[in-house]
Structure 1
Amino acid sequence: MIGLWDTTGNEVVKALAAERRSAGGVASGMALTLIVVVEEKRVREAEAAATIAAAAHPCRIVMVVRSDIERERNRLDAEIVVGGRLGPCEAVVTRMYGRLALHAESVVLPLLVPDVPVVTWWHGEPPAEIATDFLGVVADRRITDAAQAANPVAALEQRARDYAPGDTDLAWTRITLWRTLVAGAFDTIEAKVTEATVVAPRTDPTAALMRGWLAARLGIDPIWESTTEFPRMRGLQLRCANGDELTLIREENMATFRRTGQEDRMLPLVRRPLGDELAEELRRLDADQVYAEALGALAGISGLQQRPAQRVHLWKDPATAQRAEAGITAHGGTTANH
């Protein structure tokens, strides 16, 4: 590992090149660049997940840790790791302070691997608008995690309003096994499904996307049955026109599958580590149309998959917004005009 304190972007690029040369073939054959936007307190957690994903998809990991944008003096610290604790990949952890944190692209762009796709993953509360963040604009794929937001379901609805092809969310990844089990059940169903119920807490983003997926696939409006007895989606029930019912109920790492006229079956429904979820999303670098349809059905917005894939950078200064809010508070509900 190389540590650079109070350095410059050029020095980081030079140090990375030197470390690659000394590492020999360890850093060859990069399939993509993974940009990780994360808070300081979650860097190690993000490193662990990215390392698992990089084992399946060799990549260069560029971590962006933004801190204290109000600091008067800009500062850049960096750690460079090739191989070592992060396995057969290379990583640059950049910590940006002051106004530099608002212009992370000046540091990140020279660190992208040439001629390979770029994926940006926000490990934390998703941004309100990805278009205001250059790290989202430069990426071919953008991965958010609505579960990290204060209101996860509202965060998904915002993702629909802000959607462009290439976006995805880890809440969608977490229902892959659910969708696989449900889709498998349709191999033996001949009657039309007329009604569906999803049992989950009202704040569960995976349940919201499951409802959206069922609505988009089946053309129905699934019922959301609220529960507080389980921290995440508990189960779902499908009712067919011929009276048959299919039910999936989660029991820790297993699910009980029930169908009218058949014996109950136990099926695996394991909650995967974060790194495995991230690795799944890195398997595809094209737009996920099924996710777009489910997200659109959830938010009541049609045609998401027809939107243009290209994003345009719209930069907004958060410091200006903070000063405006402070002005509103200080002047009893109105911003001072001078």
Structure 2
Amino acid sequence: MIGLWDTTGNEVVKALAAERRSAGGVASGMALTLIVVVDEKRVREAEAAATIAAAAHPCRLLVVVRSDVERDRNRLDAEIVVGGRLGPCEAVVTRMYGRLALHAESVVMPLLVPDVPVVTWWHGEPPAEIATDFLGVVADRRITDSAQADDPIAALRQRARDYAPGDTDLAWTRITPWRTLVAGAFDTTEARVTQARVVAPPTDPTAALMCGWLNSRLGIAPRWEPAPEAPRMREVQLSCANGDELTLSRDDSVATFRRTGQDDRQLPLTRRPLGDELAEELRRLDADQVYAEALGAMAGLRGLQQRPAQRVHVWKDPATAKRAEAGVTAHAGTSTNE
């Protein structure tokens, strides 16, 4: 590992090239560039997840930690790891302070691997509008996690309003095993589904997307039955026109599949590590049309997959917004005194 403190972007590029030559790495072995935007307190979580994902998808990992954007003095610290504790990937962990944190692309862009896709993952609450973050605009795929928002359901609705082809959310990834088991139940029947019920906590984003998926696939509006005591989605039940009922319920890491007239079956349904969820999303680098349809059905919006794939960067300075807010507050105080 190479540590560079109070350095420059140019020095980081040169140090990475030198470390790659020393380790014998070549750019042609990289499948993609993975940009991770994360807070300092969650860097280790993000690194652990990226290490698992990089085992399946060799990549250059660029971790961006932004801190203290109102600081007077800009500073850049960097760690460079090639083939070390982060597995087979080439990793650069950058910590940016001051106004430099608002222009992270000036450091990140020269570090992108040429001629491979770029994926940006926000391990934390993403920007409300991805176009305000250049690291999202430059990416071919963008991965968010609505479960980390204060209001996950509202965050998912915002993801639908802000959607562009190439966006995805880890709440969608987490219901892949559920969708696989539910879809597999129809391999042996062609009965039309007339009703659906989902049992889950009222703030579970995976349940919201499950309802959206069932709506978009079956053309019915599932009933969401709140289960505040459950830690996550607990059950999906489908009623068919021929009178059959199909129920998939989870208890810890085991799912029970019930169908009218058949014996119950026990199936594995475990919560996967974050790194496995990330690796799944890195398997496809094109737009996920099924996710777009499910997200649109959940939010009541149509035609998400027909939107333009490219975003135009919208500059947003949080310091300017804060000063404007302070000015409004001060003006209101003056008016009150008058």
With structure 1 as the length reference, what TM-score do the two structures score?
A: 0.97
RMSD (Å) for aligned C-alpha atoms: 1.4
Deviation at 1:25?
A: 3.6
Whether 1:231 aligns to 2:231 is yes
60-69 or 228-237: bigger deviation = 228-237
Q: Please name the residue that 2:59 is paired with.
A: 59
| Secondary structure of residue in 2 paired with 1:18 | helix
Q: Paired residues, what number? A: 336
- Distance verdict in 2 for CA 1:177–1:335, change over 3 Å: farther
After superposition, residues 34-45 of structure 1 pair within 5 angstroms as 34-45=34-45
Provide the rounded CA distance (Å) in 1 between the counterparts of 2:287 and 2:333.
43
| Secondary structure of residue in 2 paired with 1:159 | helix
Contact 1:26 1:82 (8 Å CA) reproduced: no
Provide the rounded CA distance (Å) in 1 between the counterparts of 2:90 and 2:216.
40
Deviation at 1:242?
A: 1.5
Whether 1:322 aligns to 2:312 is no
Q: Please name the residue that 2:117 is paired with.
A: 117
Provide the rounded CA distance (Å) in 2 between the counterparts of 1:249 and 1:303.
32
| One-letter identity of the residue aligned with 1:220 | I
* Stretches (4+) displaced over 6 A: 333-336
Deviation at 1:333?
A: 8.0
Q: Please name the residue that 2:213 is paired with.
A: 213
Contact 1:27 1:90 (8 Å CA) reproduced: no
Q: Please name the residue that 2:275 is paired with.
A: 275
Provide the rounded CA distance (Å) in 2 between the counterparts of 1:87 and 1:186.
40
Whether 1:196 aligns to 2:192 is no
Deviation at 1:322?
A: 1.3
Contact 1:26 1:88 (8 Å CA) reproduced: no
Provide the rounded CA distance (Å) in 2 between the counterparts of 1:77 and 1:63.
12
Deviation at 1:27?
A: 6.3
CA displacement, residues 20-55 of structure 1 (integer Å, 9 cap, x when unaligned):
000014765000000000000000110000000000
Provide the rounded CA distance (Å) in 2 between the counterparts of 1:306 and 1:266.
40
Q: Please name the residue that 1:133 is paired with.
A: 133
CA displacement, residues 85-128 of structure 1 (integer Å, 9 cap, x when unaligned):
01111100000000000000000000000000000000001210
| Secondary structure of residue in 1 paired with 2:73 | coil
Provide the rounded CA distance (Å) in 1 between the counterparts of 2:117 and 2:27.
16
With structure 2 as the length reference, what TM-score do the two structures score?
A: 0.97
CA displacement, residues 181-222 of structure 1 (integer Å, 9 cap, x when unaligned):
000001122221011010001110000000000000000000
| One-letter identity of the residue aligned with 1:15 | A
Q: Please name the residue that 1:294 is paired with.
A: 294
Q: Please name the residue that 1:266 is paired with.
A: 266
Provide the rounded CA distance (Å) in 1 between the counterparts of 2:239 and 2:6.
62
After superposition, residues 140-159 of structure 1 pair within 5 angstroms as 140-159=140-159
| Secondary structure of residue in 2 paired with 1:233 | coil
Contact 1:81 1:92 (8 Å CA) reproduced: yes
Tell me, which stretches of 5 or more residues in structure 1 are unaligned? Answer: none
Taking only the aligned residue pairs, the percentage that are identical comes to: 86
Q: Please name the residue that 2:23 is paired with.
A: 23
CA displacement, residues 70-92 of structure 1 (integer Å, 9 cap, x when unaligned):
10000000000001101111100
Provide the rounded CA distance (Å) in 1 between the counterparts of 2:40 and 2:28.
29
Provide the rounded CA distance (Å) in 1 between the counterparts of 2:197 and 2:284.
30
Contact 1:27 1:89 (8 Å CA) reproduced: no
Q: Please name the residue that 1:3 is paired with.
A: 3
Provide the rounded CA distance (Å) in 2 between the counterparts of 1:169 and 1:255.
24
Tell me, which stretches of 5 or more residues in structure 2 are unaligned? Answer: none
Deviation at 1:335?
A: 10
Contact 1:27 1:82 (8 Å CA) reproduced: no
| Secondary structure of residue in 2 paired with 1:168 | strand
Whether 1:70 aligns to 2:70 is yes
Contact 2:51 2:87 (8 Å CA) reproduced: yes
- Distance verdict in 2 for CA 1:106–1:13, change over 3 Å: same
| One-letter identity of the residue aligned with 1:61 | L
Provide the rounded CA distance (Å) in 2 between the counterparts of 1:52 and 1:28.
20
Contact 1:27 1:88 (8 Å CA) reproduced: no
Deviation at 1:321?
A: 1.1
